[in-house]
């Protein structure tokens, strides 16, 4: 175990197995009135994509609409939250819910296509020997709003997303990630908080040390570039494509190093890096949320994607009285006790998300709070987990979005509408208009 | 190889006749669904000729049919079933015909059709391979898992070329990893003061009253960890929490705390007894703090390098009334409170007063010469050349070294790599910038960051000249073969001996290739096959992902899980690395146990925490299917899963994986509220009355049900305690054979071992070449298995066959789709 390598003079005391770590990360951060928090004349939009697997208890179990524990109702003053969404009460005015969304791209893949097709609505090309799908929404967004930050986007998970050991062939490319940087490049979802922390803040304790590290990184990247140039000559077309993609990646890292070295982090009191994955699942989930909040707050990234718990996970939720594994119990077979357990799990995850929103609502950012300047998609790419179907999908937009969203409403769409319509709507809202995306057929109005 | 295979297949029997019988079997059992009108699963068998001469035209369909029949996955249980002898006759005829057909189509290497060998795209080192290679190359202990992102796994393997993606996160972390590795290897001339905290593993805090694995006998409680000491010097240890609180139980009696480094005592301090009791009683918080000062900033001189550190207590006789307390479970009130215990982990800070760069094993490995005033550059060149040759897995030339010397000069002059910034006063830099070491550190990082190190690719002959890709299959070069061989058997690059043979152009001869394969297999580094191949193939490398419900299984804990991992790893290693018949994995009567695991299995004759080889009298625990790790991995948190178990046996052991469940099916079998408790078996039988379910579960479930005597954490049980009824492990397999319990199941399925050996061989070949196998590989797999039979199915025989195969030695053309996606890159 290679642990913290921090300068003694700056070292804050850190003890126990990370339990203390999970809590104060955010609080330990930037004092409210630093230059960083006040510079933004035009508030920067922060976006996030928060994924929960295995759908939600909606109106399409055998028990009918009576059993729906997800869908809220009404709009404005009449906007009423559902049992699963209850914890969003303090942030109600930031919530928009959508009924009747579907995603045909995930259907038929059981679980294997659900994560990757959530943000694109494109069926992967299963015949291809390597990954082949489409750039995902978060990455398109990152191209628009993520280019001024060291990390264009951040991809995290709270546990390993490599759950389906049985996967073979192309199915393996689509069940571990939400994000594709381009049609052939899945991005790993990091579940080790320590690695996430280092991705955000880099290594080195002093400005001198950081400068030395970035200098060394630059010269090493030169070496990579030089050698690839030589090596690719003897290779076939497919292999050259891999190396060319690698060169693209080198450029991206160079851009980050450049940005990072021009940034002044002196206003930021960086907390101690976490030790590693926490063994309390609740703390682990919260710590990832904290790291995302921290990244938004310090403007290290403006786009985050988060798999809160892995597709097909066998994790148990003993801490909320559910000793069943999540995946098998998600096959509820309309059994009331199993449905109740699923509602518990789904409610708990919503509460974690709500706590995250609560933290953001307390962080001042320009003329408002981080939550005022946020636009989040929260949901699942499955409807009824007992059937692995893709309609209707539990889906929320959350956040002030710099005033771009009405909020406080449930929009029940008249006919089954591709989730990708919401994706183009989101792109519209952030001034990144795109005629179509995935299987989209138009924009959703009234949002 | 080809000639040998041909001879053997000639001996397989006459494939001339037999077409009529085959046609009859297909018409009787298959064509009802798989015909040109219904085309179930897109397959029409009535259209396909079964004349031996034309079979290979649809070899893909026939290979699929063979697999389904052998696994009894088809025809579905609701349909009329062929007898086992009919299936065997069909399979052996079909396989012989296909094997011969392939050889006819590929009479010579030059004229081999493009599909004779698959295409393996460029391979990036996996993080496992990176860690293994770097640690061997530099003599350090780097944990690549904590430095690099996870790989995408295919069928459990992380080394499948097509799945090795590159992301900015990967490159970012990779560059950092090379920097860290270089620093660890060279050491620091003015070591930076660093602190580390080692948390108490959750399991140990429960066990502070007992002995902890890995600590000396005669101690109790405490913890142990491995720490990298950057340089010689003084390190200060702090034990922040010994469980001394408001109540004075912990200090009632005198205890002695020890710190050991590599088993040698470096610190001893007493705690508790009348004086300490008085301080805690009367001194309150300041008094407690006073006591803890004795355990803060303990100075210990340590030599540079990796060392085992242990903090523990000397075991002392217990007073009589402690016995009651000790019998309480886990964190129950007051357990362990009657003695001090390590509950807050251990901090290590240092080095202080370091004399400078220290001699370490890794420095001895990297610094192959000592620089003198006039020979400094020559020595640097030697070091760079030696490293580069090993890292790049090829001979290096002057230009390679020149390019690396740029990095040497940069480090030498600027001291870029060693920013001397610490909180303590810093001695001035030695004149001449960063010095020789800093130069070498830069060279090491530059070597590791090179794509020559990170990637291995099969060069396309004449890629420079030809615009269009060549259309034929071609042989790997000697050096490419050397890399493929060593990554296969060692998860790392070739050693000098292998490299020398390859560089001399001699590896390609069958004798040399065989000899090297066997030499590598006998080497200690071949143990990578156990962890990186076998345990991943069997899905047993991630036991920590199985979390039994602590309320239902109170006796299960992390230590037991670790014991299961140790057992399975030792067991698999004993069969593979001792070169036994690989079929012993199914039936060997030996295993490795310690007292805890033995008791878990109901064996009471094993004492002590250490593992030892044990011969099992009880056949229920023989082979893989009797191991706790397998049963744990194929269960859910709250119950066993005959479905997971059946699917595991079918997919892993038989190589005939069932189709994953289609959408719209219910696969859960938990108890329904208000319903009288039933055995899992009863609940499953109910669901197999649905024909849609029974199609697959009629095959899967009987296998899993025969293993029901093992509970979710691998204990033997005769009774289902929830349903309060005896376990009924009698089932009827799809071939009509009745079995009762795991022993009969094993004998029924694997009476002949070749199904299992074939499954292992397929997976091993996939692992060896870094791609999923395809139908055209199957004749080779069968040939390897046939030849290995004569050599008792030893791993060495299978490895010999694999390295001699076309799939291993040849590179085919990429599939058309792959070419299309690569076309983006060919625009220049």
DSSP H stretches of helix in B222-313: 274-292
Q: What is the CA angle B117-B458-B168, rounded to 5?
A: 115
Contacts of B197 in chain A (CB under 8 A): 3-4, 14-15, 275
B428 vs A: CB within 8 A? no
Asked whether B185 and B444 are in contact (CB, 8 A), the reply is yes
Confidence of residue B823 (pLDDT cuts 50, 70, 90): very low
Nearest-angstrom CA–CA distance, A219 and B442 = 10
Nearest-angstrom CA–CA distance, A88 and A99 = 18
Condensed to tens digits (0 to 9), the pLDDT of residues B674-731 reads 556 567 777 777 667 666 677 788 888 899 999 999 999 999 999 887 778 888 899 8
Of A431, A414, A433, A401, give the one whose Cα is nearest residue A95: A401
* Section B27-45 average pLDDT: 88
Q: Per the CB < 8 Å rule, is B463 touching A190?
A: no
* Section A413-436 average pLDDT: 95
Best mutation target among B123, B143, B171, B197 (most A Cβ atoms within 10 Å) is B197
Residue A19 above 50 pLDDT?
no
Q: For residue B584, with 0-12 CB atoms within 10 Å meaning exposed, 13-18 middle and 19 or more buried, which class applies?
A: buried
Nearest-angstrom CA–CA distance, A252 and A257 = 9
Condensed to tens digits (0 to 9), the pLDDT of residues A63-122 reads 999 999 999 999 999 999 999 999 999 999 999 999 999 999 998 788 889 999 999 999
* Section B617-629 average pLDDT: 95
Q: Which residue has the tokens 């199957």?
A: B778
For chain A, what is the HEC assignment? Answer: CCCCCCCHHHCCCCCCCCHHHHCCCCCCCCCCCCHHHHCCCCCCCEEEEEECCCCCCCCCCCCCHHHCCCCCECEHHHCECCCCCHHHHHHHHHEEEEEEEECHHHCCCCCCCHHHHCCCCCCCCCCCCCCCCCCCHHHHHHHHHCCCCCCCCEEEECCCCCCCCCCCHHHHHCCCCCCECCCCCECCCECCHHHHHHHHHCCCCCHHHHHHHHHHHHHHHHHHHHHHHHHHHHCCHHHHHHHHHHHHHHHHHHHHHHHHHHCCCCCCCCCCCCCCCCCCHHHHHHHHHHHHHHHHHCCCCCEEEEECCCCCCCCEEHHHCEEEEHHHHHCCCCCHHHHHHHHHHHHHHHHHHHHHHHHHCCCEECCEECCCCEEEEEECCCCCCCCCCCCCCCEEEECCHHHCCCCCEEEEEEEEEEHHHHHHHHHHHCCCCCCCCCCCCCCCCCC
**For chain B, which residues make up each domain, given as ranges?**
2-105, 122-190+367-456, 194-352, 526-633, 639-751, 753-812
Residue numbers of B between 97 and 156 with CB closer than 8 Å to A? 121-122, 142-143, 146-147, 149-150, 152-156
Nearest-angstrom CA–CA distance, A398 and A81 = 13
Q: For residue B373, with 0-12 CB atoms within 10 Å meaning exposed, 13-18 middle and 19 or more buried, which class applies?
A: exposed
* Section A30-37 average pLDDT: 39
Mean per-residue pLDDT over chain B, rounded: 83
Asked whether B335 and B281 are in contact (CB, 8 A), the reply is no
Asked whether A49 and A119 are in contact (CB, 8 A), the reply is yes
Condensed to tens digits (0 to 9), the pLDDT of residues B273-321 reads 888 888 888 888 888 888 889 999 999 999 888 899 999 988 876 554 4
Lowest mean pLDDT among A170-184, A372-386, B561-575, B806-820: B806-820
Task: Please tell me which residue of chain B has the smallest CA distance to A317.
Answer: B549
Lowest mean pLDDT among A63-77, B242-256, B576-590: B242-256
Q: Encode B661-699: b = buried (16+ Cβ within 10 Å), e = exposed.
A: beeebbbbbbbeeeeeebbbbebbeebbeeeebbbbbbb
Task: Supply the DSSP string of B115-181, one letter for each residue.
Answer: GGS-----EEPPHHHHHHHHHHHHT----GGGTSPPPPPBTTBS--GGG----HHHHHHHHHHHHHH
* Section A273-278 average pLDDT: 75
Residue A41 Cα, gap to closest chain B Cα (Å):
30
Q: Backbone phi, then psi, for A250, in 5-degree steps?
A: -60, -45
* Section A304-322 average pLDDT: 91
The pLDDT of residue B812: 86
Percent of chain B residues topping a pLDDT of 70: 84
**Domains of chain A by start residue, with CATH:** 15-202+270-429 (3.40.720)
A12 vs B: CB within 8 A? no
Residue B87 above 70 pLDDT?
yes
**Can you read off the two tokens belonging to residue B546?**
């199985």
Identify whether B819 is preceded by a cis peptide bond (ω within 30 of 0).
no
Of A299, A306, A291, A343, give the one whose Cα is nearest residue A322: A343
Residue B83 above 50 pLDDT?
yes
Nearest-angstrom CA–CA distance, A399 and A407 = 8
The pLDDT of residue B48: 87
* Section B132-143 average pLDDT: 94
Q: Which residue has the tokens 């070899």?
A: B59
Residue A18 above 70 pLDDT?
no
A317 vs B: CB within 8 A? no
**Can you read off the two tokens belonging to residue A6?**
């921090």
Cα A284 to chain centroid, rounded = 15
Q: What is the pTM of this model?
A: 0.86
Nearest-angstrom CA–CA distance, A295 and A309 = 20
Best mutation target among A19, A183, A238 (most B Cβ atoms within 10 Å) is A238
Q: Backbone phi, then psi, for B226, in 5-degree steps?
A: -105, 130
Nearest-angstrom CA–CA distance, A117 and A115 = 6
Best mutation target among B149, B630, B656 (most A Cβ atoms within 10 Å) is B149
Q: Backbone phi, then psi, for B347, in 5-degree steps?
A: -105, 140
* Section A285-303 average pLDDT: 91
Nearest-angstrom CA–CA distance, B724 and A346 = 33
Residue B111 above 90 pLDDT?
no
Cα B82 to chain centroid, rounded = 39
Residue A377 above 80 pLDDT?
yes
Condensed to tens digits (0 to 9), the pLDDT of residues B409-454 reads 999 887 544 444 333 333 333 444 578 999 999 999 999 999 999 9
Sign of CA dihedral B586, B590, B594, B599: positive
Confidence of residue B399 (pLDDT cuts 50, 70, 90): very high
Condensed to tens digits (0 to 9), the pLDDT of residues B160-192 reads 999 998 999 999 999 999 999 999 999 877 777
Mean per-residue pLDDT over chain A, rounded: 85
Residue A33 above 90 pLDDT?
no
Residue numbers of B between 529 and 588 with CB closer than 8 Å to A? 539, 542, 545-547, 549-552
Residue B506 Cα, gap to closest chain A Cα (Å):
22
The pLDDT of residue B608: 85
* Section A223-245 average pLDDT: 91
The pLDDT of residue B423: 36
Percent of chain A residues topping a pLDDT of 70: 88
Of B752, B754, B388, B424, give the one whose Cα is nearest residue A227: B388
DSSP state, residue B96: H
A18 vs B: CB within 8 A? yes
A208: nearest CB among B225, B410, B421: B421
* Section B385-390 average pLDDT: 96
B416 vs A: CB within 8 A? yes
* Section B746-758 average pLDDT: 84
Asked whether A24 and A349 are in contact (CB, 8 A), the reply is no
Name the more confident of B317 and A153.
A153
In chain B the first and final C-alpha atoms are separated, in Å, by 41
The pLDDT of residue B674: 56
**Can you read off the two tokens belonging to residue B115?**
């599909």
Lowest mean pLDDT among A200-204, A360-364, B627-631, B690-694: B690-694
Residue B462 above 80 pLDDT?
no
**Can you read off the two tokens belonging to residue B413?**
């002059």
Contacts of B202 in chain A (CB under 8 A): 17, 279
The pLDDT of residue A370: 93
Q: Per the CB < 8 Å rule, is A125 touching B817?
A: yes
Non-local CB neighbours of A384 within 8 Å, separated by 6+ positions? A55, A58, A60, A61
Lowest mean pLDDT among A301-305, A397-401, B185-189, B512-516: B185-189
The pLDDT of residue B11: 37
Q: What is the CA angle B546-B551-B556, rounded to 5?
A: 50
Q: For residue B398, with 0-12 CB atoms within 10 Å meaning exposed, 13-18 middle and 19 or more buried, which class applies?
A: exposed
The pLDDT of residue A60: 92
Residue B205 above 70 pLDDT?
no
**Can you read off the two tokens belonging to residue B71?**
């696994």
Contacts of A276 in chain B (CB under 8 A): 146
Residue B758 above 70 pLDDT?
yes
Of B550, B561, B626, give the one whose Cα is nearest residue B597: B561
Nearest-angstrom CA–CA distance, A433 and B9 = 64
Residue A303 above 80 pLDDT?
yes
* Section A12-40 average pLDDT: 36
Nearest-angstrom CA–CA distance, A53 and A427 = 24
Asked whether B693 and B612 are in contact (CB, 8 A), the reply is no
Confidence of residue A369 (pLDDT cuts 50, 70, 90): very high
Q: Cα–Cα distances in Å, from A317 out to A341, A382, B294?
A: 9, 20, 41
The pLDDT of residue B17: 65
Name the more confident of B353 and B266.
B266
The pLDDT of residue A218: 93
The CATH-assigned architecture of domain B194-352 is Sandwich (2.60)
Residue numbers of A between 394 and 433 with CB closer than 8 Å to B? none
Asked whether B734 and B79 are in contact (CB, 8 A), the reply is no
Asked whether B476 and B458 are in contact (CB, 8 A), the reply is yes
A73-87, A249-263, B333-347: which has the highest mean pLDDT? A73-87
Residue numbers of B between 194 and 253 with CB closer than 8 Å to A? 194-200, 202, 225-226, 228, 240-241
Nearest-angstrom CA–CA distance, B148 and B403 = 27
Name the more confident of B106 and B613.
B613
Asked whether B259 and B311 are in contact (CB, 8 A), the reply is yes
Q: Cα–Cα distances in Å, from B790 out to A278, B2, B581, B758?
A: 51, 18, 11, 14
Percent of chain B residues topping a pLDDT of 90: 45
A220: nearest CB among B170, B175, B546: B175
Residue numbers of A between 153 and 172 with CB closer than 8 Å to B? 155, 160, 162-163, 165-169, 172
Nearest-angstrom CA–CA distance, B769 and B533 = 12
Pairs of CB atoms within 8 A across A/B: 318
Residue B616 above 60 pLDDT?
yes
């Amino acid at each position: 175990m290679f642990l913290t390598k921090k300068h003694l003079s700056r070292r804050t005391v850190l003890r126990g197995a990370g339990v203390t770590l999970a809590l104060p990360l955010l609080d330990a951060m930037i004092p409210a009135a630093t230059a960083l928090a006040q510079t933004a004349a035009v508030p920067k939009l922060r976006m996030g994509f928060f994924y929960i697997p295995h759908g939600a208890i909606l109106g399409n179990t055998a028990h009918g609409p009576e059993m729906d524990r997800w869908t809220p109702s009404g709009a404005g003053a009449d906007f009423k939250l559902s049992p699963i969404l209850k914890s969003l009460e303090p942030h109600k005015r930031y919530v928009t819910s959508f009924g009747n969304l579907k995603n045909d791209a995930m259907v038929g893949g059981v679980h294997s296509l659900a994560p990757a097709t959530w943000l694109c609505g494109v069926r992967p090309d299963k015949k291809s020997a390597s990954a082949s799908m489409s750039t995902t929404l978060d990455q398109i967004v990152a191209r628009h709003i993520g280019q001024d930050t060291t990390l264009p986007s951040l991809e995290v998970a709270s546990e390993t997303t490599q759950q389906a050991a049985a996967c073979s062939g192309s199915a393996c490319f689509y069940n571990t990630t939400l994000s594709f940087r381009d049609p052939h490049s899945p991005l790993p979802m990091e579940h080790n908080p320590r690695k996430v922390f280092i991705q955000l803040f880099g290594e080195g304790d002093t400005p001198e040390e950081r400068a030395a590290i970035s200098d060394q990184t630059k010269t090493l990247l030169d070496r990579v570039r030089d050698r690839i140039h030589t090596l690719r000559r003897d290779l076939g077309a497919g292999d050259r494509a891999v190396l060319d993609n690698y060169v693209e990646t080198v450029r991206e890292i160079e851009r980050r190093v450049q940005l990072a070295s021009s940034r002044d982090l002196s206003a930021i009191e960086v907390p101690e890096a976490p030790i590693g994955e926490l063994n309390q699942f609740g703390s682990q989930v919260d710590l990832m949320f904290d790291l995302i909040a921290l990244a938004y707050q310090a403007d290290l990234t403006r786009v985050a994607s988060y798999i809160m718990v892995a597709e097909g996970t066998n994790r148990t939720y003993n801490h909320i009285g559910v000793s069943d594994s999540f995946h098998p119990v998600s096959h509820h077979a309309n059994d009331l006790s199993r449905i109740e357990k699923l509602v518990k799990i789904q409610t708990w995850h919503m509460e974690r998300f709500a706590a995250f929103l609560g933290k953001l609502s307390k962080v001042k950012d320009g003329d408002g709070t981080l939550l005022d300047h946020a636009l989040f998609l929260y949901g699942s790419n499955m409807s009824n987990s007992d059937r692995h179907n893709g309609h209707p999908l539990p889906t929320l937009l959350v956040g002030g979005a710099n005033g771009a969203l009405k909020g406080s409403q449930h929009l029940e769409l008249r006919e089954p509408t591709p989730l990708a319509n919401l994706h183009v709507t989101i792109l519209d809202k952030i001034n990144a208009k795109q005629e179509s995306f995935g299987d989209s057929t138009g924009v959703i109005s009234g949002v | 190889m080809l000639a040998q295979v041909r001879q053997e297949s000639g001996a397989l029997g006459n494939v001339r006749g037999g077409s009529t019988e085959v046609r009859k079997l297909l018409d009787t059992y298959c064509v009802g669904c798989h015909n040109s009108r219904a085309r179930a699963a897109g397959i029409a068998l009535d259209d396909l000729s079964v004349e031996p001469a034309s079979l290979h035209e649809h070899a893909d369909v026939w290979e699929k049919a063979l697999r389904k029949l052998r696994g009894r996955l088809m025809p579905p249980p609701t349909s009329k079933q062929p007898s086992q002898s009919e299936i065997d006759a069909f399979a052996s005829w079909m396989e012989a015909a296909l094997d011969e057909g392939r050889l006819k189509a590929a009479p010579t290497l030059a004229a081999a059709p493009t599909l004779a060998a698959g295409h393996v795209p460029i391979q990036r080192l996996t993080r496992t391979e990176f860690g293994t290679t770097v640690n061997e190359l530099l003599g350090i202990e780097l944990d690549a898992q904590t430095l690099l992102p996870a790989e995408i796994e295919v069928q459990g393997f992380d080394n499948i070329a097509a799945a090795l993606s590159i992301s900015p996160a990967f490159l970012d972390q990779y560059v950092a990893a090379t920097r860290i590795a270089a620093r660890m290897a060279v050491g620091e001339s003015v070591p930076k003061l660093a602190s580390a905290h080692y948390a108490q593993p959750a399991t140990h805090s429960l066990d502070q009253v007992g002995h902890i694995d890995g600590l000396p006998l005669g101690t109790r409680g405490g913890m142990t960890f491995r720490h990298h000491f950057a340089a010689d010097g003084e390190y200060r240890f702090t034990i922040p929490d010994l469980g001394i609180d408001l109540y004075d139980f912990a200090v009632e009696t005198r205890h002695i705390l020890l710190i050991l480094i590599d088993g040698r005592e470096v610190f001893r301090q007493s705690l508790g007894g009348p004086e300490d009791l008085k301080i805690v009683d009367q001194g309150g918080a300041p008094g407690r703090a006073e006591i803890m000062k004795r355990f803060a900033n303990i100075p210990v001189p340590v030599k540079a390098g990796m060392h085992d550190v242990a903090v523990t207590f000397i075991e002392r006789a217990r007073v009589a009334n402690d016995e009651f307390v000790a019998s309480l479970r886990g964190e129950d009130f007051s357990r362990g409170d009657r003695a001090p215990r390590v509950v807050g982990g251990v901090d290590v800070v240092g080095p202080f007063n370091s004399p400078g760069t220290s001699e370490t094993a890794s420095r001895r490995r990297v610094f192959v010469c000592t620089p003198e005033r006039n020979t400094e550059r020559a020595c640097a060149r030697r070091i760079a050349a030696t490293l580069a040759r090993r890292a790049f897995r090829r001979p290096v030339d002057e230009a390679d070294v020149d390019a690396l010397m740029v990095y040497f000069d940069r480090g030498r002059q600027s001291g870029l790599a060693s920013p001397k910034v610490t909180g303590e006063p810093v001695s001035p830099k030695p004149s001449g910038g960063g010095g020789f070491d800093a130069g070498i550190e830069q060279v090491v990082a530059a070597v590791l960051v090179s794509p020559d190190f990170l990637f291995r690719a099969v060069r396309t002959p004449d890629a420079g000249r030809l615009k269009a890709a060549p259309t034929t299959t071609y042989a790997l070069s000697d050096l490419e073969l050397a890399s493929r061989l060593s990554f296969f058997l060692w998860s790392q690059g070739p050693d000098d001996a292998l490299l020398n043979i390859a560089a001399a152009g001699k590896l390609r001869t069958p004798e040399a290739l065989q000899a090297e394969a066997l030499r590598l297999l006998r080497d200690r580094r071949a143990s990578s096959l156990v962890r990186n191949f076998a345990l991943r193939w069997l899905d047993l490398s991630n036991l920590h992902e199985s979390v039994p419900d602590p309320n239902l299984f109170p006796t299960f804990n992390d230590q037991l899980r670790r014991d299961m991992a140790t057992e399975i790893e030792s067991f698999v290693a004993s069969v593979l690395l001792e070169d036994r018949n690989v079929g012993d994995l199914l039936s060997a009567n030996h295993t490795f146990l310690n007292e805890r695991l033995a008791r878990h299995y109901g064996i009471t004759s094993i004492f002590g925490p250490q593992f030892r080889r044990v011969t099992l009298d009880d056949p229920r625990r023989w082979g893989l299917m009797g191991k706790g790790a397998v049963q744990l991995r194929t269960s859910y948190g709250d119950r066993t899963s005959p479905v997971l178990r059946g699917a595991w046996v079918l997919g892993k052991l038989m190589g005939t994986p069932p189709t994953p469940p289609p959408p719209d099916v219910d696969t859960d079998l938990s108890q329904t509220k208000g319903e009288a408790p039933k055995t899992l078996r009863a609940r499953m039988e109910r669901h197999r009355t649905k024909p849609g379910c029974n199609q697959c579960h009629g095959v899967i479930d009987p296998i899993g049900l025969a293993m029901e005597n093992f509970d979710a954490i691998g204990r033997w049980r005769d009774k289902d305690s929830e349903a309060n009824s005896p376990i009924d492990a009698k089932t009827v397999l799809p071939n009509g054979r009745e079995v009762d319990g795991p022993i009969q199941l094993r004998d029924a399925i694997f009476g002949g071992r070749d199904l299992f050996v074939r499954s292992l061989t397929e997976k091993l070949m996939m692992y060896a070449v870094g791609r999923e196998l395809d139908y055209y590989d199957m004749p080779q797999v069968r040939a390897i298995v046939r030849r290995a039979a004569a050599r008792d199915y030893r791993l060495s025989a299978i490895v010999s066959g694999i390295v001699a195969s076309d799939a291993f030695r040849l590179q085919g053309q990429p599939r058309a789709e792959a070419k299309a996606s690569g076309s983006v890159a060919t625009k220049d």
